[in-house]
């Protein structure tokens, strides 16, 4: 395998987690103070980090840091694992060798309610 393919050292497992559309979300939801699915207020103990999301707008880019409650965050991660495994040859052959699949499983374990 050529060396160039190793140019993505960090796997962004968070990017595989499907989030609801940003339109109509409250400011609390956009900055991670409330669950992005159910708008329940979050504390550091209850929040599940969903990673930084970059968004494009007319004058450049901006980032949001969405978070979810454990119920919805965990559910979305289980869904992401299923979605990924269904289209990843590596996960079919040998799941333990897929960096992305393993990263998702780690996130899911940490988010268990």
- Smaller CB distance to Zn ion: residue 44 or 61? 44
The answer to the question of residue 104 lying near Zn ion (CB under 5 A) is no
Of the candidates 26, 23, 82, 16, the residue with the CA atom closest to the CA atom of residue 51: 16
The answer to the question of residue 72 lying near Zn ion (CB under 5 A) is yes
Total interface residues for Zn ion by CB under 5 A = 11
Q: Which of residues 12-51 bind Zn ion (CB under 5 A)?
A: 35, 37-38, 40
Output the DSSP codes for 31-50: TTSBBTTT--B--TTT-EE-
The answer to the question of residue 76 lying near Zn ion (CB under 5 A) is no
Angle between helices 99-111 and 70-87 in degrees, nearest 10:
160
Distance between CA atoms of residues 14 and 106, nearest Å: 11
| 16, 28, 45, 69, 105 from 33: Cα distances, Å | 21, 5, 12, 10, 24
CB of 100 to Zn ion, least distance (A): 5
The answer to the question of residue 98 lying near Zn ion (CB under 5 A) is yes
**Residue from the set 67, 74, 81, 101 that interacts with Zn ion by CB under 5 A:** 101
The footprint of Zn ion (CB under 5 A) covers: 35, 37-38, 40, 69, 72, 88, 90-91, 98, 101
């Amino acid at each position: 395998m050529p060396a160039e393919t190793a140019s993505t050292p960090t796997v962004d497992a968070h990017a595989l987690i499907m989030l609801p559309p940003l339109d109509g979300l409250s400011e609390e939801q956009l900055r991670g103070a409330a669950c992005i699915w159910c708008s329940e207020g979050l504390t550091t103990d209850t929040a599940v980090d969903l990673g930084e999301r970059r968004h494009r707008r007319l004058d450049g880019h901006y980032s949001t840091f969405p978070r979810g409650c454990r119920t919805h965050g965990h559910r979305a991660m289980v869904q992401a694992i299923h979605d990924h495994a269904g289209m990843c040859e590596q996960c079919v052959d040998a799941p333990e060798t897929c960096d992305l699949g393993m990263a998702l499983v780690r996130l899911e374990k940490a988010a268990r309610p």
